[in-house]
A and B are shown apart, each in its own frame.
Chain A
């Protein structure tokens, strides 16, 4: 998974804003979502992101997995995230 080139990303404090330059859609992320995007930009794999975030946040593996998948689905629906197929 990756942020497509037509999406601008800006970190502001503990939050992140994404702007789809084609659709003009804005999307704000809180601290957890910001960390998700930050890790995804380096690893590209949601499983790897899950492993790292499980160490950083006080949450069970199942809850975190559900939250990350929901966030990823929402971002894909808004064209702020794309799934890369090899």
Chain B
């Protein structure tokens, strides 16, 4: 029997047959999820019914245009998530067990990145009220989330806040739960993944970093002295939809209806063929949009403006919650 390790992710416990150095350890707690990297030369021969695929916008780091980045399939009552030419993850029907078969030339660091940053959020999307593709930081008012597509600056903005007294909750994935009459945000795990230009501009030049995955030059920073982090849940006070634009930073509040239609695009969803789940997710996002202010933040992609952007966000929060705090 191989050794098992236990880790915390999104305030849940994951047991694994490989070391996951990105995650904090969890001792003496029964795991809700298990992960197994299968050491086998052959990929499994399951019958898979493919139903969806993700394509990444052209990115010279990931690969060719028009090639699927991730394929979704129904398999053995559960799901198959295939990253072509890299790894295949099989999720059990009760969503508690994840197994991975990996191509021989796929480094373990890449397998871990795919597990933590793609597969786990998708699995959690079926078991948690909402899992959002967002970064988050903790302010004096509570948690705020930055929502946007890849490359819009979610991680950079969150890291910038963390370096200025507002601990980071997440750089890419927030789990939203309803607790004690309000929506709360919980990070999946500590750390941030940044391009080297952002590392230089926002963090120390000599900050110790680790490889994120073999196909990307983004670096992972786990040091809480450099990027302070908080792992406990916090009340969600605002969501900011990031939009790159020229000129001064500007913030505009969305009506709940428009906020719902915008936010739903950033919710992880493992199975788009499940209409009942989609209806439930729609209701959840509508509820969040009705209870939590959603703003559109327009700002220029320039490191020099990060300070004014932070100030604009904090000013907006003060104006929104001036009577409450």
| Chain A 26-40 near chain B by CB (<8 Å), digits 1 or 0 | 101000000000000
B279 touches A17 (CB 8 A): no
Judging by beta carbons under 8 Å apart, are A28 and B272 in contact? no
Q: How many residues of A contact B (CB 8 A)?
A: 14
User: Which residue in A10, A22, A24 is a CB contact (below 8 Å) of B286?
Assistant: A10
Asked whether B179 is an interface residue with its Cβ less than 8 Å from the other chain, the reply is no
Q: Do A8 and B279 have beta carbons less than 8 Å apart?
A: yes
A-B pairs, top 4 by smallest CB distance, nearest first, are A15-B257, A12-B256, A21-B275, A10-B286
In whole angstroms, what is the CA distance A15 to B258 when docked?
9
Which residue of chain B has its CB nearest to the CB of A10?
A: B286
Contact status A28-B257, CB under 8 Å: yes
Q: Which of A6, A24, A28 contacts B258 (CB 8 A)?
A: A28
Report B-chain residues with C-beta under 8 Å of the C-beta of A21. 275, 278-279
**Smallest beta-carbon distance A34→chain B, Å:** 9
B289 within 8 A of A: yes
Chain B residues with CB below 8 A from A26, complex form: 261, 264
The 29 sampled A-B contact pairs (Cβ below 8 Å) are A6-B275, A8-B279, A8-B282, A8-B283, A10-B282, A10-B283, A10-B286, A12-B257, A12-B260, A12-B286, A13-B255, A13-B256, A15-B255, A15-B257, A16-B257, A17-B257, A17-B260, A17-B282, A19-B279, A19-B282, A21-B275, A21-B278, A21-B279, A22-B275, A24-B278, A26-B261, A28-B257, A28-B258, A28-B261
* Bound form: Cα–Cα A12–B286 in Å: 8
Given contacts A13-B256, A21-B278, 9 further A-B contacts (CB under 8 A): A10-B282, A10-B286, A12-B286, A12-B290, A13-B255, A17-B260, A19-B282, A21-B275, A26-B261
A48 and B69 alpha carbons, distance in the complex (Å): 51
Residues of B within 8 A of A16 (CB): 257
Binary flags per residue of B238-278, CB closer than 8 Å to A gives 1, else 0: 00000000000000000111101100100000001001001
Residues on the A chain within 8 Å of B264, using CB: 26
The chain A residue sitting closest to B290, CB to CB, is: A12
A17-75: which residues lie under 8 A (CB-CB) from chain B?
17, 19, 21-22, 24, 26, 28
- Per DSSP, chain B at the interface is helix
| CB–CB B278/A15 < 8 A | no
Determine the chain B residues whose CB is within 8 A of the CB of A13 once the complex forms.
255-257, 290
Chain A residues with Cβ below 8 Å from B279 are 8, 19, 21
Query: Chain A: which residue is nearest B265 at the CB level?
Result: A26
Distance A86 CA – B282 CA, assembled complex (angstroms): 32
Docked pose: A26 CA to B267 CA in angstroms: 15
Query: Is the CB–CB distance between B283 and A17 below 8 Å?
Result: no
Q: Which of A6, A12, A19, A24 contacts B289 (CB under 8 A)? A: A12
- A8 vs B285: C-alpha distance when bound (angstroms): 13
| Pair B286/A17 contact, Cβ less than 8 Å | yes
With a 10 A CB-CB cut-off, give which of B255, B275, B289 has the most chain A CB atoms: B275
Bound-state Cα–Cα, A22 to B283, Å: 16
Q: How far is the CB of B17 from chain A (nearest CB, A)?
A: 37
Q: Which B69-118 residues sit within 8 Å CB-CB of chain A? A: none
Q: In the assembled complex, which residues on chain A have CB atoms less than 8 Å from the CB atom of B261?
A: 17, 26, 28
